């Protein structure tokens, strides 16, 4: 999640990029010459700088959930450079969040056409396809991202692939979660789904380990606390069970998980 100071830093970069285009000190004769023989390479480079700055700002606002500003920044980026793939990529995410699936798909297709091997584009397009019921197409995009040897986040994509196929194919999902956690033991997107699978299988020690690691990395969720309650109950550790239950009551008293706890619906 981006913080305000990150957005401020990106905004400063946008202003700097804009200021770089001002202050023309050329003589009228030089200006006329430039008009007669425009520097297309320079113009395109300037447009790309502006597009990147506004794309970065759009991504920052997307991360903090301000979709209105994110949408506007993405539009400015594309106005500066319609062929900038990352701008289409971010616009696709924003449009999907705004429930404009047709617009989102158009953005992702355009980004893919412009940068067919870009792993970030492939990952986000895969996310969109999986979330809209097109799992096989989504998995193809995820694998495109993973096969790129320069991709820096393959564990994240393996975890997303697991969520894409679950619950239709739990065995395959388990393989994907396992791959993610072997690449990066702190892959948050794989921990809780994999812990749930281990719990249903009866592998309580593994489920306990995953829940414990998850709780150390991020703030607990109703899901993680409720799974902790049930795991410790199966293992017979009443102290640990009560600790999870107390946190669940204190943090999420209105959650479905706490209501299940009150009713004794442990399975």
- SS3 state of residue 204: helix
Number of CB atoms found within 10 A of residue 263's CB = 8
Name which residue leads in pLDDT, 16 or 237: 237
DSSP string spanning 22-40? ------HHHHHHHHHS--H
Name which residue leads in pLDDT, 173 or 22: 173
Contact 188, 196 (CB under 8 A): no
Cis peptide before 72 (omega within 30 of 0): no
Segment 192-200 shows an average pLDDT of 97
For position 41, what pLDDT does the model report?
A: 58
C-alpha dihedral sign at 63, 64, 68, 72: negative
Among the listed residues 107, 184, 118, the one whose alpha carbon sits nearest the alpha carbon of residue 151: 118
Q: Return the percentage of the chain with pLDDT > 70, whole number.
A: 84
Write out pLDDT tens, residues 122-139. 999 999 999 999 999 999
Q: Distance between CA atoms of 255 and 223, rounded to whole angstroms?
A: 9
Q: Please determine, for residue 150, whether its predicted confidence score (pLDDT) is greater than 80.
A: yes
For position 43, what pLDDT does the model report?
A: 73
Query: Measured over all CA atoms, what is the biggest interatomic distance in the chain, rounded to whole angstroms?
Result: 87
Write out pLDDT tens, residues 41-72. 567 789 999 999 999 999 999 999 999 999 99
Contact 58, 22 (CB under 8 A): no
For position 39, what pLDDT does the model report?
A: 54
Q: Cα angle at 137 between 135 and 140, to 5 degrees?
A: 110
Segment 215-227 shows an average pLDDT of 96
Mean pLDDT rounded to a whole number for the chain: 88
Segment 26-47 shows an average pLDDT of 54
What are φ and ψ of residue 203, in 5° steps? Answer: -90, 75
Q: What is the 3-state secondary structure (H, E, C) of 179-195?
A: HHHHHCCCCHHHHHHHH
**Hey, what are 139's tokens?**
């998995």
């Amino acid at each position: 999640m981006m913080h305000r100071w990150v957005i401020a830093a990106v905004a400063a970069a946008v202003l700097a990029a804009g200021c770089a285009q001002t202050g023309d000190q050329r003589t009228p004769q030089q200006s006329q010459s430039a008009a007669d023989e425009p520097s297309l390479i320079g113009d395109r480079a300037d447009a790309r700088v502006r597009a990147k700055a506004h794309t970065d700002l759009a991504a920052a606002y997307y991360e903090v959930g301000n979709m209105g500003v994110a949408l506007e920044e993405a539009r400015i980026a594309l106005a500066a450079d319609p062929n900038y793939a990352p701008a289409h990529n971010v616009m696709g995410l924003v449009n999907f969040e705004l429930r404009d699936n047709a617009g989102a798909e158009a953005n992702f297709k355009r980004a893919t056409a412009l940068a067919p091997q870009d792993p970030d584009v492939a990952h986000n397009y895969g996310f969109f396809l999986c979330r809209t019921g097109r799992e096989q197409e989504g998995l193809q995009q995820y694998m495109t991202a993973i096969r790129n040897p320069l991709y820096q986040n393959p564990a994240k994509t393996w975890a997303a692939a697991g969520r894409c196929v679950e619950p239709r194919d739990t065995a395959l999902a388990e393989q994907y979660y396992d791959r993610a956690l072997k690449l990066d033991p702190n892959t948050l997107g794989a921990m809780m789904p994999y812990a749930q699978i281990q719990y249903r299988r009866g592998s309580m020690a593994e489920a306990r380990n995953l829940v414990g690691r998850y709780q150390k990395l991020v703030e607990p969720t109703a899901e993680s606390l409720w799974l902790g309650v049930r795991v410790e109950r199966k293992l017979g550790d009443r102290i640990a069970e009560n600790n999870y239950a107390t946190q669940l009551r204190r943090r999420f008293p209105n959650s479905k998980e706490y209501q299940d706890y009150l009713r004794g619906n442990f399975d």
